[in-house]
Amino acid sequence: MSVLALVGVATFAGSNWKAHPEWGPPPPVAPFGRAPLPNIHHVVGMYFPVLGRPSFSNDYNVSRGRYRHTGIDIRAPKMTPIVAPFAGTIGMKHETFWIYGDDGWSVLGTHLNDDNLGRHDRKGDRDVEFAPDLVPGQRVVAGEFIGYVGMSGNATGPHLHFELYAPGGGTTMKRIRSPLASLKAAIRLRRPVAVLPETDDKPNPGNVRIDACVRGIDEKSKGLYLILVATQHGGEPARVVTQVRYLRLTVPQDVVDSAGGWQALAEQAPTHPITVFVRDIDDLTNESVLRMRLNQPQVASQPAESPLNVFLRGLHSK
């Protein structure tokens, strides 16, 4: 069953939204109606949630007839990468993600891509919508790659609809805020922050380390089919792969045996990356795996904060 399978268990009061255990924490449900939204501005320290050169204008609180627009639309080409604006716990469902920040602020983004590449068919799977290794309920770090801009749902063009909520209890009508000031002050990244399994196992000169999620195996031909998460060339820092890139590698039997065998590969969760090392050449298709490691699941603990995260946390508290 997909991690995004929809199995309803609870309904939010005053709403026809339902909570699903596969979503992680329940989403903030935006107020719906003609009543004006709170016109309160805060500068919440964050990374700008869309990479590249997106554009936006102040369309928060604009009347859309039966309802008010509850966020700001960030316009960008389809498949533009989206990153976590701040650290926290992520929830996700088809088309949508939300993050409950470590300091109480929360965001919700929607209209993620649901099209197969090069089409507008609304038949794409999670590989063209979310980062391959993302699961509901996990902790994300500020700047982590989480998904792709799309035009799913009732959207006339590709964009990320972005909502912001203040800490505290009560209804979302009391906590919703204009994201304008925060987006204007946000730090813009050139590329996502790499989040890889903790290890000192670096690639040797002439090799490349690949962190990827398994999409299929063929024991007869010794084939391993992957979707890339990150790469690291010898002597260079790791870089997140923000394009949907599949790869077939050949795995010698002794390498498979050292990693636990074909059965262990077959049982690998589709969102749990493995690490392989291959020769660093231009075309890796069918390249032979030199080493392979099936990583242990990440422990749900608070990792040490980077100086940038400390800085962002300080901005949050102001």
Q: Give the tokens for residue 114.
A: 């649901």
Mean pLDDT of the chain: 88
The yes-or-no verdict on residue 317 having pLDDT over 50 is no
- Where b means 16+ CB within 10 Å and e means fewer, 188-208 reads ebeebbbbbbeeeeebeeebb
Mean pLDDT of 16-24: 72
- From the list 55, 93, 57, 60, the residue with the least C-alpha distance to 75 is 55
Tokens 């992957």, residue? 226
pTM of the model: 0.87
Q: Where are the alpha helices (DSSP H) in 234-296?
A: 253-258, 262-266
The yes-or-no verdict on residue 239 having pLDDT over 90 is yes
Return the percentage of the chain with pLDDT > 90, whole number.
79
- Measure Cα distances from 258 to 131, 218, 254, 261, 294 in Å: 28, 17, 6, 7, 10
The DSSP output letter for 21 is G
156 pLDDT tier (thresholds 50, 70, 90): confident
pLDDT at 134: 96
- Measure Cα distances from 187 to 15, 143, 183 in Å: 35, 10, 9
Cα–Cα distance measured from residue 170 to residue 13, given in angstroms and rounded to the nearest whole number? 12
pLDDT at 43: 96
The yes-or-no verdict on residue 251 having pLDDT over 60 is yes
Amino acid of residue 228: L
pLDDT at 297: 62
- Reported residue count of the chain is 318
pLDDT in tens, 74-106: 999 999 999 999 999 999 999 999 999 998 999
Q: Give the tokens for residue 67.
A: 């309802």
pLDDT at 8: 32
Element (H, E) at 250: strand 246-250
Mean pLDDT of 281-295: 94
The yes-or-no verdict on residue 300 having pLDDT over 60 is no
**What totals of helices (H) and strands (E) does the chain contain, helices first?**
5, 18
